[in-house]
Homo-oligomer: A and B are copies of this chain.
Amino acid sequence: MAGYTDTKDDHLKRLRRIEGQVRGLQRMVDEDKYCIDILTQVSAAGRALQAFALELLEEHMAHCVAEAIATGGAEADDKIKEASDAIARLVRS
Contact = CB atoms under 8 A, between A and B. Distances in A.
Contacts of A59: 35
B93 A2 contact: no
* Chief secondary structure at chain A's binding surface: helix
Given A53-B42, A57-B87, A87-B54, A12 B26 contact: yes
B25 A15 contact: yes
B42 A49 contact: yes
Interface of A: 1-5, 8, 11-12, 15-16, 18-19, 22-23, 25-26, 29-30, 32-36, 38-40, 42-43, 45-47, 49-50, 52-54, 56-62, 64-66, 69-70, 72, 76-77, 80-84, 86-93
